[in-house]
Structure 1
Amino acid sequence: MSELYQHRARKRFGQNFLHDAGVIHRILRAIHPRADERLVEIGPGQGALTEGLLGSGARLDVIELDLDLIPLLKLKFGLEPRFHLHQGDALKFDFARLCGTPHSLRIVGNLPYNISTPLIFHLLEHAGLIRDMHFMLQKEVVERLAAEPGGGDWGRLSIMVQYHCRVEHLFNVGPGAFNPPPKVDSAIVRLVPHETLPHPARDPALLERIVREAFNQRRKTLRNTLKGLLAATDIEAAGVDGSLRPEQLDLAAFVRLADHLHARTEEHRPPE
């Protein structure tokens, strides 16, 4: 075996390489890629999923940060005309440069746990270009993504992702499917951006701010945690009970709070 194929997983990149053929097949079946599609794989690693994605006949762009993996990927797939390799950081990558057609990109990735949340937020900035996303993530992260109001997993990540996407927790994957095996269970999640937002906010940045402030002290009531943004009377005027804790509110309620804050801000904006 050549040295290229003896690449060791790097802890600083959060690398755990998928090797279980049954899990790989199950993931590919869930994605169900087709020949006329534009696929983007984030962190292809040693190409466990890459081969199956290319086998569909689709165009495949892959984004890999680890310079030591670039020669391996070029050796394996470089002669395939539908394979396009981008060396760089997916957190800084401009996905709009790959395709400008709305809802056309299909994103796939076995994401390092240490960047999964910021990367998902980065991708949501391009939600209008994305048809769907299939990710391998830490199981606890997937449970937070798919959470419902009222439980301990419901929080900023759940709300902001569900504002933009429909979330499906597809199946779990044990540590033995990876080399080296991680110390946590993993799961596959499907995120499908809404073509029409179910609860559109007048200013999504204000929604993000409301949600962040609310969950900064999640054990306190909304009346206390949002007092720097909204008075108790404003919370009530938005149709929300100020004595509730943030995890008791659904997405629609947070949007009402954000819209009320937006209206108050506009009222007090000086005329131009």
Structure 2
Amino acid sequence: MQYTLKKSLGQHFLKDESISKRIVEAVMDEHPQHLVEVGPGAGAITKYFLQYPDLDFKAVELDAEKITYLEHTFPAIKGKLLHQSFLDAECPFTERFMIVGNFPYNISSQILFKVLDWKEQVDCVVGMFQKEVAQRVASKPGSKAYGILSILVQAYFDVEYLFDVDEQAFNPPPKVKSGVIKLKPIKAIPLMQSEQKFKLLVKTAFNQRRKMLRNGVKGLFDPEELKDELFNKRAEQLSVDDFAALTFRMR
């Protein structure tokens, strides 16, 4: 049975078996009981998860043609497919669960924000992203890649960059390299006044990342607070803990 690739859905299907196996291994190292795959596509990694009888597995797929293909090719997947966009999906399990996926590059940041919405239940994420996005999520203060996504994810998850994936591992080959990262919940979430203030502060600070922090966030603090030397720094020089601590000083 054949299927078509849809550019509108950012579809690049993994064809390199060695990469598929490395992703599956990175997931199974965490001994998941409940696992959801985002965008199984043609089943490059899906087929391996279906071989674990004790694994409560689900897959979220928007493309109706791929649903038909998967059910025809892998009969064991029947009853495990959720036909919808991951961005619109309800939480797939009532228990804690893991997420895995070769994430569509055009919505990869939104996928990470969806993961953050479910952070109380997510045990681990193993995801393939455009390399630039993977590096951004994993980057540390002071680097050019460090920004909003790095901080909002690292406030709740430890990020481990696992490996690069070459363009030729896909059909069709994307124009960029890819990277696989693993997210695991951190043991102690930084104290912050509220998540809402934390997000507002981080996004405001990076709107003018080349300027001193004082100029970027002056609308959020009283003038007296802004005299602190910390505000002489640029946003990319502050750690996740710095941003969390600053929320207590906001208006």
Query: TM-score when scaled to structure 2?
Result: 0.94
Q: Which residue of 2 aligns with 1:73?
A: 70
Q: Which residue of 2 aligns with 1:270?
A: none
Which of 174, 183, 192 is matched with 1:201 structurally? 192
Q: Which residue of 2 aligns with 1:18?
A: 14
Q: Within the alignment, does 1:134 sit opposite 2:139 as a pair?
A: no
Distance 1:192 1:78 in 2: 32
Distance 2:100 2:226 in 1: 40
CA RMSD after TM alignment: 1.7
Shift of 1:35: 7.7
Structure 2: gaps (5+ residues): none
**Contact 1:33-1:56 at 8 Å conserved across structures:** no
Distance 2:5 2:106 in 1: 15
Shift of 1:235: 3.7
Distance 1:222 1:145 in 2: 21
Which of 248, 258, 263 is matched with 2:237 structurally? 248
Structure 1: gaps (5+ residues): 265-272
Query: TM-score when scaled to structure 1?
Result: 0.87
**Contact 1:38-1:105 at 8 Å conserved across structures:** yes
Shift of 1:195: 4.7
The amino acid across from 1:106 in the alignment is M
Q: Within the alignment, does 1:228 sit opposite 2:219 as a pair?
A: yes
**Paired residues for 1:1-272 under 5 Å:** 2=1, 6-32=2-28, 37-57=33-53, 58-80=55-77, 84-95=80-91, 98-101=92-95, 104-197=96-189, 199-236=190-227, 241-261=230-250, 264=251
The amino acid across from 2:221 in the alignment is L
Kindly provide the CA deviation profile for residues 29-61 of structure 1, in whole angstroms up to 9, marking residues without a partner as x.
111168871110000000010011111221211
**How many equivalent residue pairs?**
250
The amino acid across from 2:41 in the alignment is G
The amino acid across from 1:217 in the alignment is Q
- Report which of the two structures shows the higher radius of gyration computed on alpha carbons: 1
Aligned sequence identity (%): 36
